[in-house]
Amino acid sequence: MQHHERILILDFGSQYTQLIARRVRELHVYCEIHPFNYSIEKIHAFGAKGIILSGGPSSVYAADAPISDAGLFALGVPVLGICYGLQLIASQLGGAVDHAARREYGRAAITVTAGEDLFRNVPQVSQVWMSHGDSLTRIPDGFEPIAKSENAPICAIRDTTRKIFGVQFHPEVVHSDHGTKILSNFLFEICACSGDWNAASFIEQSVASIRSVVGKDKVLCALSGGVDSAVAAVLLHRAIGDQLFCIHIDNGLMRIGESARVVETFRESYHIPLDIVDATALFHERLRGIVDPEQKRKIIGKTFIDVFEEEALRVKDARFLAQGTLYPDVIESTSFKGPSATIKSHHNVGGLPEKMNLKLVEPFRELFKDEVREVGRMLGLPEAFIGRHPFPGPGLAIRILGEITPERLHVVRAADDIFLEELHRHKLYDAIWQAFAVLLPVQSVGVMGDERTYENTIALRAVTSVDGMTADWARIPYDVLGIVSNRISNEVRGVNRVVYDVSSKPPATIEWE
């Protein structure tokens, strides 16, 4: 989809690159992240109103340092280099970078020495977030320093003629007090953006683009019950009406009442045609005896495709398959770090399109999760639905460590339901990114009444996060955890111990499998 006003972010491997994109979009300017070695032809064709060079872990003078095409400085497009990006500007335009006398990590105070353009309305002294081991020792010709810190006499530079700016700190992280103001100055003062990109303009552009791509053909959509596929279905329905066919497959691995809620939301509230397929028996049969998590995912993925394919054949002339793929999934698969290790196989419907000769429609390829939620709100989906925690494609299968049996599913379902019910009751649900119960393959000794028991352990997991890329364990009050633990032990047969997971991501993942 072509947006008339765009910012290009070149990625040099910083852990904060996605954060830059989020900040730019929060200021209502559309942007995309591309790898540092994006060719000058592509940069030119992209038509950016401004280019941001991200930070990165390398040193510009290292043998394998990521270097972008220096031709981008001659395009007449404003450039902002952040951290590594600043050092790249210096080294490519004739300045010099050296191992800093003192490395700077964490908070630092900077003093602004030129308070216009980039630093307009930014206090003279403010806190920023530093993360660098190299410093500028010589500024390239045509540049001047515009800020300094105690440690780095050259903390920001500019060339007003060519509109090239560089900062040694990270304005995109919250610890930089006026970082958003600095980015907003770059976008509006320097690049002359108008900031008219938002959920409403996204919907308008998507509807037009979907209509022109799909024409009169039919589109299949797999409705999982999650936010992404739900919002995608409502958006598609707005664009093409009855050409949309939704299929919901109940794999028997959903939470209590989940499938019924999906059907109700779509048939009742949206009058969207929806086929529901109960494939519980097939999934359970194929998963019998399987313990390895990656194998579970593969079996579930393959079974899903088999069932979906059979259903889809009933829809004559279907040419497209709609998926709720999000931007982080796209970036993860195209990031410059080369083929990164598969942490776990992705749950989107891989393999189907080629097999059935379907073309993909992915309206959210360019959006982050919170942006999809915003689109959902604009499309009128109920808040209770929009605010739902993410739920993995393989469902409860990856929340039962070990073999999946109807009995074990019953235990994890009941425990999960109690946990979520109490979070809602204590008004904690919305402050948490994801919360769930996991059944561990660990029996331990307990006492119930006068008897010794030897039963299962439930682990509770709750995390806070912005986009799921990193996450911290949620600080749920002890008394609430106490109520949940007490209810699970009393109400769920077969559980005599409840533990709370206090690991962050990294090093742990959010899910246990």
Return the closest-CA partner of residue 164 out of 88, 109, 67.
88
Name the active-site residue from 5, 104, 172, 513: 172
Tokens of 22: 């989020």
Q: CA-CA distances (angstroms) from residue 405 to 148, 341, 395, 439?
A: 63, 31, 14, 12
At which residue do the structure tokens 């592509």 appear? Answer: 42
Q: Which residues contact 279 (CB under 8 A, 6 or more apart)?
A: 249, 250, 251, 252, 303, 307
Q: What is the DSSP letter of 140?
A: P
Report the alpha-carbon distance of residue 60 to residue 141 in Å, rounded.
19
**Pick the catalytic residue: 170, 178, 248, 347?**
170
Known catalytic membership, residue 172:
yes
> What span, in angstroms and rounded, lies between the C-alpha atoms of 150 and 73?
30
Q: Residue 278: which region, alpha, beta or left (left: phi > 0; alpha: psi -120 to 50)?
A: beta
Would you say 274 and 266 are in contact if contact means Cβ atoms under 8 Å apart?
yes
Catalytic site residue from 31, 83, 191, 246: 83
Q: Which of 228, 200, 203, 207 is nearest to 386 (CA)?
A: 228
Per DSSP, helices labelled H in 118-226 are: 179-184, 199-214
Dig out the tokens for 473 from the structure.
């364990």
Round to whole Å and give the CA distance between 55 and 78. 17
Task: Judge whether 503 and 470 are in contact, CB under 8 Å.
Answer: no
191 is catalytic: no
Catalytic site positions: 83, 170, 172
